[in-house]
Structure 1
Amino acid sequence: MANSPQAKKRARQNENRFAVNKARRSRIRTFLRKVEEAIASGDKDAAVAALRAAQPELMRGVTKGVFHKNTASRKISRLASRVKSLG
């Protein structure tokens, strides 16, 4: 348990950051799920639109420190190739 005032403040800050990051991760996963569902339904137009919406969300997660840059790039690349193969 945190004893010093600095450690107590750090614990509070960690809780707040955890909540914010959790919300960001959840939001990004929702965008990714929409792309997955569009791919599964075979609707290329919807999949392209969903991918266009998901890309900036993923990269925003990178700038906010939720995901690593290569992780986001890999996810985008794999989704884009799956959307392209729908054609």
Structure 2
Amino acid sequence: MANTAQAKKRARQTVARRERNFSLRSRLRTAIKSVRKAIESGDKTQAQAVYRKSTSILDSIADKGIIHKNKAARHKSRLASSIKAMA
């Protein structure tokens, strides 16, 4: 248990940061799933449109430091190659 003013404040900040990070990480996962779902549907134009929206979400979350920029790049690369492989 925090017993100094500084420790209590840090505990409050940690809780707020955790909630914010949790919601951002959830947004990230949803964006990735939506692209995968569009790829599975077989509509290449729709998949490309969803991919364009998702890349901005991935980049913004990487800029905030929630995930590493290389992880964001890896996700974008794999999704792009999946879209490119569509017939």
TM-score range, shorter chain: over 0.9
Q: Secondary structure at the match of 1:3?
A: coil
The alpha carbon displacement at 1:75 in A equals 0.4
Moved beyond 2 Å, runs of 4+:
none
Q: Secondary structure at the match of 1:86?
A: coil
Q: Give the aligned residue type for 2:76.
A: I
Q: How many residues align?
A: 87
Does residue 64 in structure 1 map to residue 54 in structure 2? no
- Residue in 2 aligned with 1:29? 29
- Residue in 2 aligned with 1:17? 17
Percent of matched pairs sharing the same residue = 48
Q: Give the aligned residue type for 2:81.
A: S
Structure 2, unmatched stretches of 5+, are: none
- Residue in 2 aligned with 1:51? 51
Taking only aligned residues, the RMSD between alpha carbons, in angstroms, comes to 0.8
Q: Give the aligned residue type for 1:85.
A: A
- Residue in 2 aligned with 1:3? 3
Q: Give the whole-Å Cα distance in 1 for the aligned partners of 2:50 and 2:25.
A: 17
Q: Secondary structure at the match of 2:2?
A: coil
Q: Secondary structure at the match of 1:67?
A: coil
Structure 1, unmatched stretches of 5+, are: none
Q: Give the whole-Å Cα distance in 1 for the aligned partners of 2:65 and 2:49.
A: 25
The normalised TM-score by structure 2 is: 0.96
Q: Give the aligned residue type for 2:60.
A: R
